[in-house]
Structures are given as C-alpha cells and as structure tokens.
Amino acid sequence: MWQCNACGYVWDGEEAPEQCPKCGAGHAKFTQLDDKAADLIERARYTNSLHMQIYALMEEVMAIAEEGLDDNLDAGCTKIFEQTLVQAEFVQQAIKAELQGHMKKGKWG
Ligand SMILES: [Zn+2]
C-alpha cells in the first residue's frame, strides 16, 4: 500500500500510481506503508464493512417495525415495534459517529 503525502489517500498496488486519484499529486508524493500500517488499514476496512452490514440490516429491521405499526394489532405489539424503531435508529447513529471518527483518524484506507 502507498499513501499520498498530500491528501492521505491510500493506493493498493505493487507500485505507486502516476498520479493520486484523489488530489492529483504526482508519483513522488507517495510513500510505501510499512506492514503494521497496512495491516491496520486492512483491519479498519474489515470493521467498516461489518458496520455497514449492520447499518443495512437496521434499515430492514425498521421497515419490518413499520409494518408492525401499520398492522396495529394491540398496544403490547405496538410498543415493541416503536421500541424497535428507536433502537435501530440509535444503532445507525452510533455507527455513523464511529465511522466519522475512523475517517478523522485516517483509518479509512
Ligand atoms: Zn492525494
């Protein structure tokens, strides 16, 4: 992996690119990441993908809860569906905040 020293973009490849796809800096602006730094980026990408899977599942959970609310069988069921909506949205907000934190710390390869 190679990192652009101008903007922080990480390039995957045997060689650095001719030009940074993000900021346009030249080949010489890239430095090769050591194994430890490359490993951290791989792990962050994996964790980010897990977060995104959960985020997408919460969308499905919320859609199911909305169907339950529409069905409106009784107060007990409605309460559970309402709580489901709140909890699923909370998980999504927490994921967004965490991923923004990763990007600020440069963990988003
Ligand atoms: Zn760049």
pLDDT, residue 103, reads 76
Amino acid at 37: A
| Mean pLDDT score of the chain | 93
80 CB-near residues (< 8 Å, 6+ apart): 68
The C-alpha atoms of residue 65 and residue 62 are separated, in whole angstroms, by 5
Per-domain residue ranges for the chain?
A: 1-33, 45-102
- pLDDT for the residue 102: 78
Q: Which residues, chain by chain, have CB under 5 Å from ion ligand 1?
A: 4, 6-7, 9, 20, 22-23, 25
Q: What is the pLDDT of residue 101?
A: 84
Class of domain 1-33: mainly beta
Question: What are the pLDDT digits (tens) for 28-57?
Answer: 999 999 999 999 989 989 999 999 999 999
CA 84, CA 59: separation in Å to the nearest integer?
11
The residue ranges of the chain whose pLDDT is under 70 are 106-109
Token pair, residue 23, equals: 């900021």
Query: How many angstroms does the Cα of residue 50 sit away from the middle of ligand 1?
Result: 27
CB atoms closer than 10 angstroms to residue 4: 22
* Distance (Å) from CA 3 to ligand 1 centroid: 8
- Residue 107's pLDDT is what? 61
Residue 52 backbone dihedrals phi, psi, to 5 degrees: -65, -35
